[in-house]
Amino acid sequence: MAEQVFPSVPADLVQVVEQHGRAVAAGDNAAVLADFRPDRAAQLIASAALPPDLVKSELVDLRLEDSGLYAARIKYTAADGAQTVLRSRWLELPEGWRVTQVRNLPETPPRMKDTGPNEDGSDTPHWEGLRVGELRIPQCEDCANWIWPTRPICPRCHGFRVSWKAVEPTGTIFSWTRTWQLFEPEFSGHLPFVTVLAELPQAGGRRLLGVLLDADGVDPQLGQRVRAEIEAAPDGGWPVLRWRLSSDQ
Ligand SMILES: [Zn+2]
């Protein structure tokens, strides 16, 4: 196969990246590991998810990004024809070109395995709300206090009468973080991802956590508006709430 030409990319990097792709496809773990930044090797190994029976790699894109890193897209083909694209970012160290980031494309958010109501059932109406496309938060019937996370009694007036209300599924970013590490096995193939803590003024300023969609390369600003999207479970389990940056900021 003819070598592809990537303008403005050092020729030795093209060679290194193509060799890297072939090593990944061949399952040559020692060679793959040698391409990783040593101080990030464990994180990089865990970041990407590939099928085990690869037969081919193809470097489809390699370019210099504004960050100063070179980004490569390598398409891997498995024995059954399934294709997976990984994007690796490369930097030049004294010892040579090394991978400093890697991820699966397109970006997909992780699903936590403990999705669903608490064992005590205290937040079951919230999850049932998601099933019918509503964001439900409990409110104290005595003092109108919004309660989140859920509690058996109102933390303000200690009243027992709580009712669940559907609220507009929007908020503003109070805080956010980008997760690079494989803290849970189910994160594999979904790293890095951004988690947003969104504040809901329409629910007394209560704050809800969710993964931000389409966050690859995005650094959210505090106060930016987000809108919830409810993602159905692929297996008939509980849906999850995701956040997405609103188009009207
Ligand atoms: Zn109350």
- CB of 88 closer than 8 Å to CB of 74: yes
Is the pTM here over 0.85, yes or no? yes
Give the distance (Å) from ligand 1 centre to CA of residue 147. 9
Give the distance (Å) from ligand 1 centre to CA of residue 106. 45
Give the distance (Å) from ligand 1 centre to CA of residue 119. 24
The Cα 201–Cα 30 span in angstroms is 52
* Confidence at residue 4, expressed as pLDDT on a 0 to 100 scale: 67
Enter the tokens of residue 59.
């470097």
Cα-based angle 51, 57, 62 (whole degrees, multiple of 5)? 120
* Confidence at residue 156, expressed as pLDDT on a 0 to 100 scale: 97
Give the distance (Å) from ligand 1 centre to CA of residue 146. 8
Which whole number is the average pLDDT over 218-226? 97
Give the distance (Å) from ligand 1 centre to CA of residue 12. 67
CA torsion, ordered 117, 121, 124, 126, to nearest 10 deg: -90
**CA-derived radius of gyration, the chain:** 22
* Confidence at residue 86, expressed as pLDDT on a 0 to 100 scale: 98
Beta strands, E only, 19-82: 54-64, 70-78
Predicted confidence (pLDDT) at residue 1 exceeds the cutoff of 60? no
Give the distance (Å) from ligand 1 centre to CA of residue 161. 8
- CB of 227 closer than 8 Å to CB of 236: no
Which whole number is the average pLDDT over 80-98? 97
